[in-house]
Amino acid sequence: MAIKLSSPSYGELEIQAATRVLQSQVTSMGYETYMFEQELKQFFGRKDLNVLVVNSCTAALQLALQGIGIKPDDEVLLPSLTYIATFQAVSALGAVPIPCDVDDECFIDIDDAKSRITSKTKAIIPVLYAGIENNINAVYKLAKRCDLHVVEDAAHSFGSKNTILRDGILCFSFDPIKNLSCTSGGAIVTSNTDLAHKIQDLRLLGVIGDTERRINGERSWDFDVKEQGWRYHMGNLCAAIGRAQLSRMKFISNIRRSVASRYVNELNGLNYIRLLPINYETAIPHIFPIIVNEGLRNDLMQYLLSRGIGCGIQYKPNHLLTYFDRGYSLPNTEKLYSQLLSIPLHPMLSNDDVTIVIDTIKEWAVNV
Ligand SMILES: Cc1ncc(COP(=O)(O)O)c(C=O)c1O
């Protein structure tokens, strides 16, 4: 594809960081992991937050759910329109993901979620799809009223100013194409220190107090384990790359924001497409999904692909997958699924690339 849909941006700093760790021969969890957590905390600008890095956002979600006490057969509400990872994180604990519809902004539909609450419902996961969180307060209100935990899937929202101001449990992704990438990684961010301590052990196979020993370059030879844990910690190599990316966050977010604002300025109001209401003043855009009029999405997709422009469908709704099908349909999710099309957004795009994407979409809209 001449213009990719998504891409990381690794430069000299990331290469130097990886080389430094490889030369040290200490690639497992240690000093770099500790420093990455400290620097993320500084980046968020809130001293009260605990930041725990792990090897993916999928792991972050699973650990957060286990940490708040989600058990087999508990039900967890979440929008069907999300990456498969959100669902798998719930089912990995033996809990049951309950797919909910989304509203026109691709955010979990509060009324639909409410209608699916049973005596087994213990938590709700709002997914900040494309950084959209306009209705997040309604999730917290519902959760308070119905005594549910909230775990936010903020995989798309690293760097968003509003997300980090909330007093929730946030799970970020640092996979290769996210706003910050350390090749593979994630983070759980919470002001709940007891929860953070619990997750610290869970990410290291449940070994109690292992984080401190590893940061000091030691191993645990005599230890105890009190519950099921997982090998989900982040090693020095990924953490060092993450630190380098974090130091370039301003540069990376400026490009993402400037690409997105060109799309907004030049595509808004165009026939046959609708844009999502994302606030790019506060959010750093991770993906740029457009909503194409019914029946035309595949036509635009083929038009772009045949001209070397990468695009994709984010995401196939999870209730349409055999494993997560619960025998009911979700009308708005299914409608959006037939209309959504993500267009290129990443830090390696040049101005010319963006012009080509915009002109090609405009050309399609004239000729369709
Ligand atoms: C909405 C959402 N949730 C969770 C994940 C999982 O993140 P990771 O790949 O870091 O496990 C992703 C990754 O694409 C995602 O887009």
CATH fold of 249-367: Aspartate Aminotransferase, domain 1 (3.90.1150)
Q: What is the dihedral sign for C-alpha 81, 84, 86, 92?
A: positive
Share of the chain above pLDDT 90, in %: 94
Backbone angles phi, psi at 245, to 5 degrees: -65, -40
Q: Tokens 């979600």: give the residue.
A: 61
Averaged pLDDT for residues 1-12: 95
Count the neighbouring beta carbons within 10 Å of the beta carbon of residue 209: 14
Closest ligand 1 atom to 58 CA = 11
Q: Which helix (H) or strand (E) is 77 found in, with range? A: strand 75-79
**Of the residues 175, 177, 230, 340, which should be mutated to test ligand 1's pocket, given the most ligand atoms within 8 Å of the CB?**
175
Closest ligand 1 atom to 153 CA = 3
179 lines ligand 1 (CB under 6 A): no
Average pLDDT of the residues of the chain: 97
Question: Exposed, middle or buried by CB within 10 Å (0-12, 13-18, 19+), for 265?
Answer: exposed
**Of the residues 53, 55, 58, 179, which should be mutated to test ligand 1's pocket, given the most ligand atoms within 8 Å of the CB?**
58
Dump pLDDT digits (tens) for 69-105: 999 999 999 999 999 999 999 999 999 999 999 999 9
CB distance 309 to 356 below 8 Å: yes
Q: How far apart are CA 253 and CA 241, in angstroms?
A: 17
Identity at 251, one-letter amino acid code = F
Question: Exposed, middle or buried by CB within 10 Å (0-12, 13-18, 19+), for 307?
Answer: middle
Dump pLDDT digits (tens) for 44-53: 999 999 999 9
Question: How much is the pLDDT for 199?
Answer: 98
Give 156's contacts (C-beta < 8 A, 6+ positions apart). Answer: 127, 128, 129, 130, 131, 173, 178, 179, 286, 287
Residue 175 alpha carbon to ligand 1 centre in Å: 7
Residue 17 alpha carbon to ligand 1 centre in Å: 24
Dump pLDDT digits (tens) for 118-169: 999 999 999 999 999 999 999 999 999 999 999 999 999 999 999 998 989 9
Dump pLDDT digits (tens) for 197-218: 999 999 999 999 999 899 988 8
pTM of the predicted model, to two decimals? 0.98
Q: Which CATH number fits domain 12-247: 2.30.110.10, 3.40.640.10, 3.40.50.300, 1.10.150.120?
A: 3.40.640.10
| Nearest C-alpha neighbor of 149 from the set 231, 91, 65, 82 | 65
Dump pLDDT digits (tens) for 301-357: 999 999 999 999 999 999 999 999 999 999 999 999 999 999 999 999 999 999 999
Domain boundaries of the chain, sorted by first residue:
12-247, 249-367
**Residue 1 pLDDT > 80:** no
**Of the residues 54, 56, 57, 286, which should be mutated to test ligand 1's pocket, given the most ligand atoms within 8 Å of the CB?**
57
Given pLDDT bands bounded at 50, 70 and 90, which one contains residue 280? confident
The reply to whether 249-367 shares the fold of 12-247 is: no
